[in-house]
Structure 1
C-alpha cells in the first residue's frame, strides 16, 4: 500500500518506512543507499534479472549491453528515488486495483494495475472510457509503479487507466515486449467489462521508449501484414485517439547508421533489437516512414520540449502525420529563464506546468469520445 501525506515526516511504500531525508541522502558519489536500493526495487529491477557472468554468451556486444543496463538502472534509480513520495500518491477520488495477472503466469512482468475514477465506478457506470498506458524506461528500466501519480491524475479526469508491466531487457527482446503489451491489450478487451471499462472507448498513451512499443502495437492492430511479419496477432483493437509523450518514434538508425541515434540508445541496446532487425530487414519497413504509411492512425496528440533528447522524433512524426493528412496536435514547449522542461515532463505531476499538458491531452481525447458518453464523474 502506498501512502503520502503533505504534513507527514514519515512515509511508507510496500511496508518500507522512510523519510524525505532518506530519499535525498547521498554521499556525493551518486550511489543508492541500502534503503534507497530497497525502495528502488519496488518500481524497477536493478540486477535481479542480470545473468551471471558464466551464463552470458561469449559475445562482447551482448556483455557491453548488459553492463550498460546494470549501470544505467542504478543511475536512473538514484534520480528517481528522491521523487518517490510524489510518484506514490493516489488521491481518494481514484480507486486502484493492483497486480492483476494478465498472462496467467504470475510473473512480475505480466502484472497490470487499473486506476478508476471513484465516483463513476461506485455509481456503476458501465462504459468508462479507458486509457491503455505503456510506460517508458529505455526498455530496461521501471515497471508500472513509477507511474502511479500520473495514471491517477488521468483517472481524475474521468478515464480509467490500465498500466501493464512488460518484460524488461536483458530478460527479453523488443518482440517479447511487444508480445506482452499485445497480450495485456487482449486481456483488457476480454476482461475490462468486469471493471466497467468500455471496449468502444479506448485510448492509447505511451511515453519515451514505450512510444515505440505503442507505434508497433498500432501497426499490428491495424495492419495484418505487420502483425504476421512480427508474429504478434493483431486483434483489431480500435483506439479513438493516441497520446505520445517524449516519444521514441523513429527507429531508422537500426538500418542506417547515418540516421541520428538520439541518446545513442539504439546503438547501446542493439542486442535488444536483433530479432526486430531480422524481421524487418529487406522489407519496406526498414524505414519509419514506410511503417507509418501503413498504420491506420487515429487522431494523434504529441508532446515534447527543447530539453527533450527525443524532441526531433516528435517533430518529424508530426510532419509526417501532416503529410499523410492525419489529425494530430503537437505541443513543443520551450524552456525559458533557466527553467528546464525535461524529457517526459507530463509525468512530473508534482510540477504545476505538467498538469496543463495533461489537461490538453485529455481535452484532445474528449473531442473523440462517442456522443453518448459524458465525463461528469470526477470533475
Structure 2
C-alpha cells in the first residue's frame, strides 16, 4: 500500500515501543494515509535520535498499562510514576501531575513521554501519563473524550494510590499541550464543557504547564468545508495538521467555531495558574504568544507565566527543564 514510503526493518521493530505505525491506515484514503505515515516516520526519526539519553532515574516506582477504558486497546491505557518514598510512606499527599503526550495528533502513545514523566516524578510528583487514540482513528473531540475518560478513571481510583486527593496539575507538549489546554477549560468551566460536549471528571485543576502547545485552531476549522482527501496538492509538502483538518476538526466546527477562539475562551473560563513554555527553536512559538496575549487581555495577568528560551537546543529538553522549575514552585504552593 505504501510503496513510496521507505521504512527499514530496524524502524519497524522500534516503532511499537511508543507509537502505532500503519496498522490503523488500511481503510483510510490512500493520499491521507501516506501523509500520516510520512509524518509518523518524521516524528519517529527525530525521537529515535534522543533515545540514548532516555533513562529511568533511581527511586521511581512504575505502575504501567492500566486500562482506563475496559476495551483492551493500547490507546486506552495509562501509567503512574511514583517517588518510591511516597509508596513507602503511604500518605496521600504527593502532588499529582497528569501528562498528555504530543505527536501532531497522529503519533505516539504515553510511552513516548516516559523519560519526561519519570524525571518529573523524581522531583517529588505522582505522574499519571495517558494514551489516547491517534488520528485518523479518531478526531479531535474523540481525543478529548479519551482524555476525559482517563481523568474520570483517575478521580475514581486515585484513592487506591499514595497521591494527593484534592487537586491535580496538567502538562502536555505540542498536540498534548492543546489537549491539556482544552481539558483545563472543560474542568474549569461547566459552560464550556457543555458547549463542547465533553463531560467534566470532577478533578480540581490547580494549574497547567503547556510546552509548545498548538493553541489557535480557528484556521484549521476554516478547512472543514474541504473534502477530507487532502486537497492541497502534494501531501508530502503539507503539514500533517492541515491535511487531517477537514476530518479531524469537523465535529468541533459543528459544535461552534467560537470554541476555538482564544479570546472567548480566556474571557469565559476561570483559568488557574498557566505556564506556557516556548523557545527560539519552536516552529510554532507564535501559538504560545497568542495564548499568552489572550490570557493577559482577559485579565489573567497574575495567573499567566511565559517561559521563553532564546537559545534552547534541543528545545524539548531545555523547555522541559524550564517547565520543571515552574512545576516545583507550584508544588510548594499547593
Shorter-chain TM-score: what band? 0.7 to 0.9
- The offset of 1:216, in angstroms, is 1.6
How far apart, in 2, do the equivalents of 1:188 and 1:83 lie? 30
Match of 1:288 in 2: 262
User: Residue 31 of structure 1: CA displacement?
Assistant: 5.2
Count of aligned residue pairs for this structure pair: 314
> Who is 1:302 aligned against?
276
Question: For 1:286 and 1:166, how far apart are their aligned partners in 2?
Answer: 21
CA RMSD of aligned residues (A): 2.2
Matched, 1:34 2:9: yes
Structure with the higher fraction of residues in helix conformation: 2
Which residue does 2:328 correspond to in 1? 363
Q: CA deviation at 1:252?
A: 1.6
Instruction: Indicate whether 1:73 and 2:73 are aligned.
Output: no
1:49 correspondence with 2:15? no
Where does 1:87-236 land on structure 2 (aligned, <5 Å)?
Answer: 87=54, 89-236=55-202
Partner of 2:51: 84
- Aligned-residue offset at 1:127: 2.1
Deviations 1:94-138 (A, max 9, x none): 111100001111110100000001112112122211101111100
Deviation (angstroms), 1:63: 4.5
Relative to the length of structure 2, the TM-score reads: 0.87
Q: Which runs of 5+ in 2 are unaligned?
A: 224-237
Find the counterpart in structure 2 of residue 269 from structure 1: 244
> What corresponds to 1:25 in structure 2?
none
**2:80–2:128: 8 Å Cα contact kept in structure 1?**
yes
1:6-37: CA deviation from partner (whole Å, max 9, x where unpaired):
xxxxxxxxxxxxxxxxxxxxxxxx95431232
- Whether 1:340 and 2:313 are equivalent positions in the alignment is yes
**How far off is 1:304 after superposition?**
0.3
Q: List per-residue Cα deviations over 1:138-176 (Å, max 9, x = no partner).
A: 011011111111001110111000001001111111111
Specify the SS of the correspondent of 2:167.
Answer: strand
